[in-house]
Structure formats: C-alpha cells, structure tokens
Amino acid sequence: MAIPDHLTLEIVTVDRSVAHGEVDEVVVPGSEGSFGVLPGHTPMLAALTVGEIEYRRGDETSYVAVSFGFAEVLPDRVTILAQIAEVGDDIDVTRAEAAVKRARERLARPAAELDYERARLSLLKSLVRLQVAERSRHR
C-alpha cells in the first residue's frame, strides 16, 4: 500500500464541525504528551488533554484550542472528537482574559476553600485559548 500524499483532518465537537480538510501534518495534545502525525502514520487512538492542535497545509499553519476528547489516527485520516474546540477567530479574547484572572484569584485562596484541579484546568484552558487567538492573529 502506497503512503498517502496528505491527511484528511476532521475536528468535531458534539455541537459542530470545527475544521475539515486536507493537511500535510497535525500536532495533537495527547494525554501522554503531544504527538505529530504525517501521512502514512500507524493507526492509533489517543486521549486528548487541554492544549492546542496545530495543523499545516503547505506554508499555512492553523491552530485550534481543544479540551479533552479523543484522536483517531489512520494512515490517511485524523479525526478529533473533542469536548471543546475553538479556532482562534472564534475566541473572545476579553472573556478568556477575564477567565485567566478569575482562575488565578481562585488559585491564590487558601487550599481548604479551593477545588485545586478545577481551578488549574480553568486557568490552563483560558491560557490555551489566548495563545491560539494570538497565533491566529499573526498568521
């Protein structure tokens, strides 16, 4: 079997399709660490964490903020099923900045009053959203 020339990438949530198209490479935030996918990759299934999906077609690189879900990798296709996924142009920067501030304030409270993991994830999600928004503006 010949190695494919490209990958078909599909990023979906319960509500909508976030991205769909042919790409040359994808970098995915797996729960065990980020991993890259090129055409011909060995089939695999991976859990996602909070992070940024980066995909490239030619010289154009795009970014999507994701939170949890799964990635199915086949030699010619990558399918991302995410709980939350947002392209940079859809991110409300003011809202994300306010969420960063709230999460940092929560993390500064005494430990007895804090659900630490929830506050940490909230901060991480907001920081990733801001990073994706910034990268999308500078393409």
* Strand, coil or helix: 43: coil
**How many C-beta atoms lie closer than 10 Å to residue 78's C-beta?**
21
* Strand, coil or helix: 82: strand
The pLDDT, as a whole number, for residue 1 is: 64
The pLDDT, as a whole number, for residue 139 is: 64
Confidence label for 120 from pLDDT (cuts 50, 70 and 90):
confident
Average pLDDT over residues 39-47: 96
Average pLDDT over residues 82-94: 91
Can you list the domains of the chain with their CATH numbers? 7-88 (2.60.15.10), 91-137 (1.20.5.440)
The pLDDT, as a whole number, for residue 87 is: 92
Whether residue 4 is predicted with pLDDT greater than 90 in this model: the reply is no
The pLDDT, as a whole number, for residue 2 is: 80
Average pLDDT over residues 54-79: 95
The pLDDT, as a whole number, for residue 13 is: 95
Q: Which residue has the higher pLDDT, 64 or 104?
A: 64
